[in-house]
Amino acid sequence: MERRVTSVPLPWPNDAALHRSLTGLLRDLVRIPSRAGTDDYGAIFSCIAGWLAVRGVLSEILPANGSPIAMVAAWPDDREHPALLLNATVDTAGFGDAPEWRHPPLSAVIEDGWLYGRGSADSKAGVAIFCHLLVADKARGGRATALAAAFDADEHTGGFAGMRAVAERCPNPIAGVLIGYPGVDRIMAGARGVWRATVAVRGVAAHSGSSHGRGTNAVTRAATLVRALGQLHDQWQLLRAGDFPLPPKLTVTGIRGGGEFSMVPELCEVDVDVRLTPLLAATQAEAAVHAVVAEVVPDSAVVARVAWPPYRLPDDSPLVVALADAAQQVLGIRPPAAVAGPANVGNLLAQRGIPATCGFGVAYRNAHARDECVDLASLLPVFHTYALALQQLLGSVEER
């Protein structure tokens, strides 16, 4: 990737020094485990806060239920002062089958210009880039709109507790949010929503070797339900809109039941994840799943877990235009606006009337999969793209 234009005052002597600093912070972050729902987030928030503090940027770690869940940095003291917010999540997906990775998930090994590790793409590279943007911005002084950052956890669970803590702690008007999810070829101007539920499929317990009663196998019934839900997913593939081309998607993400060889299982839980679009709202998804359950396993219970509606910024949104203009200068191409398949904190922000892009970042491979990695050559172009976009959004005309 060739960076063709830069007009950003930096506290680093040159791009080589900036690249070393970006890579160093990213490696430090990847080496800290921060799996959603598994690891404590205190260590990674402390790492970020310490790195910023050494460079003169103040931050605050926010708790939820006594544990750290988010942090804010460079937030205006004046509660009436609007802020443009940079955001990236610190929590990650799980490791999966860690021994099958090319390099251990926490190794941050660099091979052929790619840095490997869980969370390297989603979204610790975004954290590293945004931390450097805060430091660069500090030297330029105040503006009518301030630049701040929020780094959140509980994103991968869909609970979004980190971003909710940020919104509750920091009531400043938020002019907009740039979320640093990976992917350099498109600007994500919206995302599908999500509706999640667990279906408790009942059976009748019995001894698996009994000659008197077979019982009713909850796992077998659950398998029938899974096949029926697959047909529902297939029907939804026709629901596509012009400005929101992704269709709804239904995925069975978990099955839990049985476990004793000598016992016919009497309970099996099926986790259902539905991705929503403007043509399929949460109420419609819930009604459709309930209808399938009622037909196939009528005595089962459906417990809804999470619901976030889809959203889409217009193509002429200032956030989208600024990123596209900057990318054209830095990369020589103008990335199109698109819609992300996964839901994210942009869905929460949209419900609060806060515009947010939810994707422009480093080149990557295998997010949420084995051998997640990022192309280190993309760090500088993405940094400079955001820096130029911020100049446009914040009204800065300073140049190096």
Which pLDDT tens digit goes with each residue over 127-162?
Answer: 999 999 999 998 776 555 689 999 999 999 888 999
Q: How far apart are CA 22 and CA 4, in angstroms?
A: 19
- Per residue in 269-296, pLDDT (tens digit) is 999 999 999 999 999 999 999 999 999 9
Closest alpha carbon to 147 in 180, 174, 187, 179 = 174
Is residue 398 pLDDT above 50, yes or no? no
- Per residue in 302-314, pLDDT (tens digit) is 999 999 999 999 9
Identify whether the C-beta of residue 213 lies closer than 8 Å to the C-beta of residue 227: no
Residue by residue, DSSP assigns 61-104 as EEEETTEEEEEEES--SSTTS-EEEEEEE--B---SSGGGSSS-
Give the CA count within 13 Å in the CB-facing half-sphere of 348. 19
Two tokens at 92?
Answer: 């990650």
Could you tell me if 320 and 180 lie in one domain?
yes
Q: What is the pLDDT of residue 399?
A: 33
Could you tell me if 243 and 328 lie in one domain?
no
Could you tell me if 206 and 314 lie in one domain?
no
> What letter does residue 301 receive in the DSSP assignment?
E
Could you tell me if 129 and 224 lie in one domain?
no
Q: What is the pLDDT of residue 79?
A: 66
- Per residue in 20-58, pLDDT (tens digit) is 999 999 999 999 999 999 999 999 999 999 999 999 999
Give the CA count within 13 Å in the CB-facing half-sphere of 125. 35
Q: How far apart are CA 383 and CA 160, in angstroms?
A: 26
Do the domain assignments include residue 3? no
Could you tell me if 214 and 273 lie in one domain?
yes
φ and ψ at residue 124, rounded to 5 degrees: -75, -25
> What letter does residue 250 receive in the DSSP assignment?
E
φ and ψ at residue 198, rounded to 5 degrees: -120, 130
- Angle of helix 125-138 versus helix 379-394 axis, rounded to 10: 50
Domain count for the chain? 2
φ and ψ at residue 356, rounded to 5 degrees: -150, 130
Could you tell me if 79 and 169 lie in one domain?
yes
| Continuous H helices in 297-367 | 318-331, 345-351
Two tokens at 101?
Answer: 């990775």
Identify whether the C-beta of residue 47 lies closer than 8 Å to the C-beta of residue 28: yes
- Per residue in 48-101, pLDDT (tens digit) is 999 999 999 999 999 998 999 999 999 877 667 778 999 999 999 999 999 999
φ and ψ at residue 226, rounded to 5 degrees: -60, -40
Q: Which domain holds residue 274?
A: 194-308
Do the domain assignments include residue 4? no
Is residue 374 pLDDT above 90, yes or no? yes
Could you tell me if 234 and 276 lie in one domain?
yes
Measure the CA angle with vertex 380, ends 375 and 384; round to 5°. 140
Could you tell me if 223 and 331 lie in one domain?
no
Q: How far apart are CA 93 and CA 367, in angstroms?
A: 9
Identify whether the C-beta of residue 379 lies closer than 8 Å to the C-beta of residue 1: no
Is residue 12 pLDDT above 70, yes or no? yes
Q: How far apart are CA 97 and CA 371, in angstroms?
A: 10
- Per residue in 159-187, pLDDT (tens digit) is 899 999 998 887 678 899 999 999 999 99
Tokens 């909710």 label which residue? 164
Q: What is the pLDDT of residue 1?
A: 43
What is the sign of the dihedral through the CA atoms of 270, 97, 192 and 33?
positive
Q: What is the pLDDT of residue 142?
A: 53
Contacts of 177 (CB under 8 A, 6+ apart): 84, 85, 86, 87, 319, 346, 349, 354, 355, 356, 357
Do the domain assignments include residue 268? yes
> Which of these three, 262, 279, 308, is where a domain ends?
308
Q: What is the domain-level CATH number for residue 37?
A: 3.40.630.10
Could you tell me if 176 and 314 lie in one domain?
yes
Is residue 10 pLDDT above 80, yes or no? no
Could you tell me if 31 and 156 lie in one domain?
yes
Q: How far apart are CA 139 and CA 365, in angstroms?
A: 34
- Per residue in 227-239, pLDDT (tens digit) is 999 999 999 999 9
Do the domain assignments include residue 119? yes
Do the domain assignments include residue 265? yes
Q: What percent of the chain is modeled with pLDDT above 90?
A: 84
Do the domain assignments include residue 46? yes
Could you tell me if 269 and 279 lie in one domain?
yes
> Which of these three, 308, 325, 355, is where a domain ends?
308
Could you tell me if 23 and 135 lie in one domain?
yes
Identify whether the C-beta of residue 318 lies closer than 8 Å to the C-beta of residue 175: no
Q: What is the pLDDT of residue 146?
A: 86
Do the domain assignments include residue 85? yes
> Which of these three, 308, 328, 361, is where a domain ends?
308
Is residue 396 pLDDT above 70, yes or no? no
Do the domain assignments include residue 178? yes
Q: How far apart are CA 333 and CA 349, in angstroms?
A: 29
Q: How far apart are CA 127 and CA 374, in angstroms?
A: 13
Q: Which class for 303: exposed (0-12), middle (13-18), buried (19 or more C-beta within 10 A)?
A: exposed
Q: What is the domain-level CATH number for residue 284?
A: 3.30.70.360
Considering the chain, what is the average pLDDT of its residues?
A: 92
